[in-house]
Structure 1
């Protein structure tokens, strides 16, 4: 029992200098650039062929060049994510079994949701991937 405690203590003490060196390098640049606001992956249930349940996953974010609007988007990020989840859930629920998703239609819906939550236009929805499993 004491050997397990010793191994755990040894592993954490070995990792501390590595963590200290990583934090000394400064902040890491956000992926996507300075204008990019990342939205976590959005998932929704859909129907697969044979009436089985499937999952639609949408990877997306926002490109916002205006600093004031970007700051507002970061403040209301939970509301943006909720609006995106609702839009994807409605779309995935009406998708026929086995049909491929329509990225243009989904992007328009997400853009409409983003403009509605932010209160004005100026943010552009960027979609990385749409997967249906």
Structure 2
């Protein structure tokens, strides 16, 4: 494999991608009031420390996302991602800290607490918290 030839083709691939994206953007023609094409926002994975049944430290990992169909609220949620991450981290750490060794987390309560934290940050209803994988290792 000739790496120099591969790297010389990279700018051409970028131009081809840009050329195909321009007609798609031009045909949209919508204003700011339209709903976002994709209302789902994937947030960063959250982790917290737990105590395992053998007494050693373990990790609780939670994947989280938000479904925000309202365009105005979606923009606000995008700007508030650092504050949302902080609030969600606090909820995850509190939940992990209250778990007894070997205990399974209550996912219904966890989802409720994350939803409440999201509402406190955004100050408007419409953003739904979606839990992905929750692992305790």
Do structure 1's residue 71 and structure 2's residue 75 form an aligned pair? Answer: yes
Do structure 1's residue 25 and structure 2's residue 25 form an aligned pair? Answer: no
Q: Secondary structure at the match of 2:82?
A: helix
Shift of 1:25: 2.9
Partner of 1:30: none
Shift of 1:19: 6.3
Structural mapping, 1:1-133, within 5 Å: 11=3, 14-18=6-10, 20-21=12-13, 24-25=16-17, 34-133=38-137
Partner of 1:4: none
Normalised by the size of structure 2, how large is the TM-score? Answer: 0.78
Distance 1:49 1:126, change over 3 A: same
Q: Secondary structure at the match of 2:45?
A: strand
- The RMSD of aligned alpha carbons is 2.0
Greater alpha carbon shift after TM alignment, 33-42 vs 64-73: 33-42
> Is the strand fraction higher in 1 or 2?
1
Q: How many residues align?
A: 119
Distance 1:12 1:94, change over 3 A: farther
Distance 1:17 1:83, change over 3 A: same
Normalised by the size of structure 1, how large is the TM-score? Answer: 0.81
Q: Secondary structure at the match of 1:51?
A: coil
